[in-house]
Chain A
Amino acid sequence: MKKRVKGSEAVLLALMQEGCDTIFGYPGGTIIPIYDDLYRYADKIKHILVRHEQGAVHAAEGYARSTGKTGVCMATSGPGATNFVTGIADAKLDSTPIVCISAQVNAEKLGTDFFQEADIIGITLPITKWSHQITSASEICETIAKAFYIARSGKPGPVVISITKNAETELTDFEYDKKELLKEIIKEPAMPDERLINKAAFLINNAEKPLIIAGQGIILSGAEKELAEISGKGNIPVATTLMGLSAIPTSNPMFVGRVGMHGNLAPNAMTQEADVIIAAGMRFSDRVTGNIKGYAPRAKIIHIEIDPSEIDKNVRAYLPLTGDVKAILASIIPQIKTTDRSSWMDFAKKKNKEEFAKIVEPGTTEKGCGEILMGQVIKEISQKSGGKSIIVTDVGQNQMFTARYLSFEKERSWITSGGLGTMGFGLPAAIGAKAGNPHREVIAIIGDGGFQMTMEELGTIMQCHINIKIVLMNNSFLGMVRQWQELFYDKRYSNTELENPDFQEIAQAYGIRHKRVSDCGKLNESIDDMLACKGPYFLEIIVKKEENVFPMVPAGADLNNIILGKTTNDK
């Protein structure tokens, strides 16, 4: 039904048509008309007032990744819009569906260096899946329908809409017939030829040492069930990438760990031994392959991927299957034969045992000196949360230790910045995850460096009563960079030591319950207190200053050169 409304109202009505219930944003001059209508629609669309527009984008990402819906963020023109940039780049590399709306100066003033004019479309062209500048209210419905469709279809990604102020204030006819609005762009998802599906099944059935490497594509397409099914039916071990964590429960007997630079020993070794690799919804990033020349030397690679441009980009596929991973797995499963692969699984067990003895045991057990190890913290949190919480990390050692020691039992439980590796992602992304999942526990694990990049979002937590648990792993270092300096730059710690503020006072100032723990003996009860707390909680853990994350495949080395520990006292 047609309705005559102002452009600003049309934006909100269109967002509601797309199922948007939450907007993360920050107002300013050019976007006031939309905020004025938000005031009226407050009971239908929740607005979470962040403290920096970068936080709005990361929160929208956290919301999208944890719910499977499209995240929405909003900002004013100029500095509001440019503050979006890091978050948009993050969403692009991690294929996260978000719609970022920023206002713009009046259409007739475009290009005049008007107050708070920045060409956000031009600035973000290389980091968006699509973008459009609305200069007339009549474009609003079609643009928003397109934006949501593009953000979540195919390989998802960020979309930017810039809306000039005159378009917000003009009147327009609001009519939202999605089919009609999208008729020019809707595409049927591609599906590989049946012969290719048969060939994939043949290769898998005849493999002695097959390995599935599951990426985030599994989660994006909702193929967790199919993944478990194909693996269970064929006795095929499953490894995940960093972004694929929580696509399969850690307790699944076929799960062998995580591949990549700081991944587990077993799946990295299995990659080098496998005769068939089923790469499902992953893109062979350099963090996964190490030196490409030495990667998976024995394997025929079946690459299941929605984006044709990813095929053969980094690693040559023996059998590319382009399309939706859920549909493709579902079509292969009926042909999979149950095959005994126990000796191949024994290989995984042997490697896991070796890793346990060399890394896990020493890395999660107190050595009598009272210093807390990051691995210990994560192990405790993992046990106490039962693998059911949504875990959001920042970037650095905190992220890699969490990826190593956390168990997952539920899907969409792992949110991290993988492709861009954005410090400052953790806190706002956790806010977004909680906004989308009010009934799930959300725990943010953050380093002292990254926390200081977006800690202003404590204000958002305070004002909007966001009940998240924040675990700050304070080592007074930019830990991951320090680790590289230690291992590859003869311990020259150039600008990686941090003189930190009193984080307890900061949490106190925001009215958030807080505690600092530095004694190993108190770790357990501190985590219990945090989890028992009804509201948000800030737990600062003083961890060992110079600890290293192992295993590690040095950048550019091949997977066989995995380092299990250094020869000094860290071993």
Chain B
Amino acid sequence: MEKKNFTVTAVGKYGLEILNRISGLYLQKNIPVSSLLFTRGENGTGSYRLEVEAPENTMARTILQMKNIVDIKDVNYYTNK
């Protein structure tokens, strides 16, 4: 299936363990990540931004799995083209 470039953004609690859960998910699913930005916000919140390459349907499923990470509040993604 054709791979596309996606930008994924997630917001939730700030924490390295959450960052690791996110990166671990992409590692486990063998999805290449070309950039990962992790920022601490106010009141213990965190935002996570990834540039990845994957087929559309793999991406949709991965997003649902990201939403399952406890302490992640919301996840969005869009294609860069």
Q: Which residues of A contact B (CB under 8 A)?
A: 121-122, 125-126, 129-132, 150, 155, 185, 307-309, 311-313
Asked if B17 and A126 sit within 8 Å, CB to CB, the answer is: no
Q: Is B81 an interface residue (CB 8 A)?
A: no
The residue that A308 contacts in the complex, of B17, B21, B64, B71, with Cβ under 8 A, is B64
Q: Is B28 an interface residue (CB 8 A)?
A: yes
Asked if A309 and B67 sit within 8 Å, CB to CB, the answer is: yes
Asked if B67 and A122 sit within 8 Å, CB to CB, the answer is: no
Contacts of A185 in B (CB 8 A): 70-71
> With A309-B61, A309-B64, A312-B61 known to touch, is A129 a contact of B70 (CB < 8 Å)?
yes
A431 to B68, CA, bound (A): 32
> With A131-B17, A313-B61 known to touch, is A308 a contact of B67 (CB < 8 Å)?
yes
A308 to B17, CA, bound (A): 23
Q: Mark B45-80, 1 if CB is under 8 A from A, else 0.
A: 000000000000000010011011011000000000
What 8 A-B pairs are tightest by C-beta distance, nearest first? A309-B64, A130-B70, A309-B65, A126-B24, A308-B64, A125-B20, A309-B68, A125-B24
How many whole Å from A369's CB to the nearest CB in chain B? 49
Contacts of A125 in B (CB 8 A): 17, 20-21, 24
Contacts of B70 in A (CB 8 A): 129-130, 150, 185
A307 to B64, CA, bound (A): 9
Asked if A121 and B17 sit within 8 Å, CB to CB, the answer is: yes
* Known pairs A125-B17, A308-B68, A311-B64 / 16 extra A-B pairs, C-beta < 8 Å: A121-B17, A122-B20, A126-B21, A126-B24, A126-B28, A129-B70, A131-B17, A150-B70, A155-B68, A185-B70, A307-B68, A308-B64, A308-B67, A309-B61, A309-B67, A309-B68
How many whole Å from B17's CB to the nearest CB in chain A? 6
A121 to B68, CA, bound (A): 18
Closest to A129 in B: B70
Interface of B is mostly: helix
A132 to B61, CA, bound (A): 26
A126 to B67, CA, bound (A): 15
A224 to B54, CA, bound (A): 40
Contacts of A130 in B (CB 8 A): 70-71
Write 19 A-B pairs (CB below 8 A) sorted by A numbering: A125-B17, A125-B21, A125-B24, A126-B21, A126-B24, A129-B70, A130-B70, A130-B71, A131-B17, A132-B17, A155-B68, A185-B71, A308-B67, A309-B61, A309-B65, A309-B68, A311-B64, A312-B61, A313-B61
A313 to B68, CA, bound (A): 14
Interface of A is mostly: mixed
Contacts of A311 in B (CB 8 A): 64
How many whole Å from A238's CB to the nearest CB in chain B? 28
A131 to B28, CA, bound (A): 18
A307 to B65, CA, bound (A): 9
Contacts of A308 in B (CB 8 A): 64, 67-68
A126 to B71, CA, bound (A): 15
Contacts of B28 in A (CB 8 A): 126
How many whole Å from B12's CB to the nearest CB in chain A? 11
How many whole Å from A151's CB to the nearest CB in chain B? 10
Contacts of A307 in B (CB 8 A): 68
Residue in B17, B28, B70 whose Cβ sees the most chain A Cβ within 10 Å: B70
A129 to B24, CA, bound (A): 13
A132 to B18, CA, bound (A): 11
Residue in A129, A131, A150, A309 whose Cβ sees the most chain B Cβ within 10 Å: A309
How many whole Å from B5's CB to the nearest CB in chain A? 22
Q: Mark B16-28, 1 if CB is under 8 A from A, else 0.
A: 0100110010001
A155 to B68, CA, bound (A): 10
A24 to B65, CA, bound (A): 31
A312 to B64, CA, bound (A): 11
How many whole Å from A321's CB to the nearest CB in chain B? 15
How many whole Å from A105's CB to the nearest CB in chain B? 18
Closest to B69 in A: A130
Residue in A126, A131, A185 whose Cβ sees the most chain B Cβ within 10 Å: A126
How many whole Å from A467's CB to the nearest CB in chain B? 38
Closest to A185 in B: B70
How many whole Å from B6's CB to the nearest CB in chain A? 17
A130 to B71, CA, bound (A): 9
A122 to B68, CA, bound (A): 18
How many whole Å from A192's CB to the nearest CB in chain B? 16
A244 to B17, CA, bound (A): 33
Contacts of B65 in A (CB 8 A): 309
A126 to B70, CA, bound (A): 13
A558 to B41, CA, bound (A): 50
Contacts of B24 in A (CB 8 A): 125-126
